Structure formats: C-alpha cells, structure tokens
Amino acid sequence: MFILEGKTALITGGAGGIGAACAKMFARHRIGALTLTDVRKENLLRTAGEIEKEWGLACICIDADIRKEEADAAMVAEAADRMGRLDILVNCAGISRMGRLYDVTGEQWDFTFDINVKGLFFVCREAFRIMEKQKNGCIINLASQAARGGGIVVTPDYPSSKAAVLTLTKSLAKSGAPAGIRVNTVSPGLIATEMTATFGYDPASVPLGRIGKGDDVAGAVLFLASDYASYITGACIDVNGGIAMI
C-alpha cells in the first residue's frame, strides 16, 4: 500500500543525508508532488535527478537559505502554489560542528541557532499560513538525541539548538491542533551522513550494534507523515538504535 498517495510535501535540507532519504522514502510511497530545498543547489539537483530516474517523480527544487525570513516565505508559498497544496513539511536542514566549548564564538552560536531554530521556525510559520487555510497539515522537525543527552563530540550550541526544537515543536503542536495541523519531532541518534562522517563512533556501543542509516530516520518520518499517525501531535520519536531509552 502506498500511504502517501496524492499528498504533497516540502522537505528542507533535501539535498543529502536524512533529507534526501526522506525524499526517496516519500517517492517510494507515491507522494503526489514533492518540493526539495537546500542551500546546496548541485546536490539538490542530483537528489532530484535520482528520484526522477527511479520513481518518475519530477521534484520541484528551490535553492534557498532558511536563515532568510523573506526567502522562507517565498519558498513555502512557491512550493504550495506549484504543488496545489501543502500537506507535509519535513524540516531536515541543520548544521553541527565538532569541537569543544572554547571553540564556540558568539558568531558560531548565532549561526547555529539561526539555521537550526530560527530558520526552522520561519519555515514552520509560513507553512502554518497555508495549512491553517487548508484546515489540515503535518510538520515533522528533526531534533537530535543530543538535545536530551547533551551531545558527545559536537560543540554545545548544537544540543542547545536541538533542545529548542523539541520545545518549539510542542508549542507549534498546541497552536496547530485546533486547525488540524499536527507537529512532531524525530530525534535521531548517530546516523551515517555527511554531517557525521568525521565523528568516528563505535557501532559496538550502540545496543542494536550498528550506526543508523538515513532510511531508519525516513521510516519514522514516513509514519508521522501518514494518516496512521493522525492522533499523534507534540510527540517525539527517538531513532537511535537504543543508545538512550527515555
């Protein structure tokens, strides 16, 4: 059964890693229309090309930096306009850095929060404008196990920003519920992507014995995006191989 048949989705950070895995998962489940956005235009076009080749779905690609409030408004409006409606938003765009607390300048702190929290909020707010009119919609935000655990090799701005995403999601879930907008978080542990390529984590330290794949996260996103999750909002699904059990 194709659980997203006829629906439309916008995925930020869709050029690679978890965002691209979600895009492919959605295409596999016959999403009706898909918009991918990212700052990395070449990678975005490559992912879109792979999806078209394998599933015959021509993605709409929008090259946008989510830190820019006006660009976010234009990007979400264009996506909804070209797809006809906006059923699902997945916020995968994000950054992290390895390092110690002394490496964090004010500039770095702001940069991380501008992308991981403020930019994510702008995109959600613009999606709300459309979803409220539709009286229906679903938003999935990517947080991180680091939000609750504090992170291991990353600088402290990253787990702090992801903790903000957890709380922001609950706030948005309360605002959206009366209009039929569900907002949830997926919180990955260590997933093999470009972001974590240099983290050097030992698979033996994960109870399930392996580092996660983009598809592991995309499966949880697919469930939350589907009508099977129609009574779930303000929740967080941990996808971490058992690293932390809360």
Ligand X SMILES: NC(=O)c1ccc[n+]([C@@H]2O[C@H](COP(=O)([O-])OP(=O)(O)OC[C@H]3O[C@@H](n4cnc5c(N)ncnc54)[C@H](O)[C@@H]3O)[C@@H](O)[C@H]2O)c1
Which residues are tagged catalytic? 158
What phi-psi label fits residue 162: left (phi over 0), alpha (psi between -120 and 50 degrees) or beta? alpha
Residue closer to ligand X by CB (options 153, 179) is 153
* Shortest CB 46 distance to ligand X, Å: 11
95: contact with ligand X by CB under 6 A: yes
Q: Which residues pair with 140 in a beta bridge?
A: 90, 184
Contact 70, 45 (CB under 8 A): no
* Shortest CB 19 distance to ligand X, Å: 6
For 37, the enclosing helix (H) or strand (E) is: strand 33-38
Query: By CB under 6 A, which span of 98-106, 126-134, 190-198, 227-235 interacts with ligand X?
Result: 190-198
66: contact with ligand X by CB under 6 A: yes
Q: Which residues of 168-187 are buried (b: 16+ CB within 10 A; e: fewer)?
A: bbbebbeebeeeebbbbbbb
* Shortest CB 40 distance to ligand X, Å: 4
**The CA-based dihedral angle spanning residues 66, 121, 95, 154, taken in that order and rounded to the nearest 10 degrees:** 160
Query: By CB under 6 A, which span of 27-35, 53-61, 127-135, 192-200 interacts with ligand X?
Result: 192-200
| Binding residues vs ligand X (CB under 6 A) | 12-13, 15-19, 38-40, 65-67, 92-96, 115, 119, 142, 144, 188, 190-191, 193-196
